[in-house]
Structure 1
Amino acid sequence: MTLFFGVKVLLSIIRFIMLPALTISLSNAALSQEVNHHFYSACDFNETEVEIISQDGSETENIKVRVVLNSEAARKLELLTRKNLGNSLSIYINGEKITTATIQNELKGGVLQFTLNQRLATKLVPGLLRTSCRLHG
């Protein structure tokens, strides 16, 4: 009977320790939200640079893209990141999801830089050449 009592006490202790931790984890997960932000190259970018990067002689290439946002797009991104610190941010360009990351500080300065794999670059790069600002719904 002592063994049973000991197991019962041990289970009570585990419940006491584990349940608050689980509740805190679930509460933090519920507080974190994913925020999406869409850019359209012809409307939001002042400059775009594209660089092809080969890695150590391999045939795999990545595409490095650097964009300078216009003042309105830079202001919106700064405000969005300021209001959503700690949340997840997904960035889309011309309808293509580029990246998702946790917002750790405000993004100031209006310059974004990212690396694309060949599949995504093939979809995105032709759209970067657009010159007429046509917003998509």
Structure 2
Amino acid sequence: MVRGAGDALAAVGTAATWAVLAALVATGRMELAIASTAALAVRTSGAALTTTVRAGARLFRTSPSLDDWARFLMVAQAWTTRRGTAAIAPDGPQVITAEGICFAYPRARPRSTASTWSSGAARPSPWSARTAPAKAPSPAS
């Protein structure tokens, strides 16, 4: 609704500007060369004004998102992982294990220890992903 009213007012203003320029040229109060320069100025300033208004509207639409992003970065600082002082081997860990893992919803009654589980994963050998070579065909007998 507001955008439609703004567009209508802009159209009325533009039409009034062109009407005044045409009237000034028709009555001889303005030369055609000056009116052409004024027409160019009207079109250029209209385009610049439209660009400025659209940029302001885009900034207005995205500013809440930027504020949310800044708040998220402040909160996320507490969630970041912190590395210890132990050195990690250049080839990384060989075995990763997790023991006594249990899932529970926040503020829920804790589950019994019978529902916990453990898991482990060893680093695969570079040869384990390869397939065995195909056998040569046997000679026809």
TM (norm. structure 2) is 0.29
Higher relative contact order structure (alpha carbons within 8 Å, sequence separation ≥ 6): 1
Of structures 1 and 2, the larger Rg is shown by 2
- Which structure features the higher share of helix residues? 2
TM (norm. structure 1) is 0.29
- Which structure features the higher share of strand residues? 1
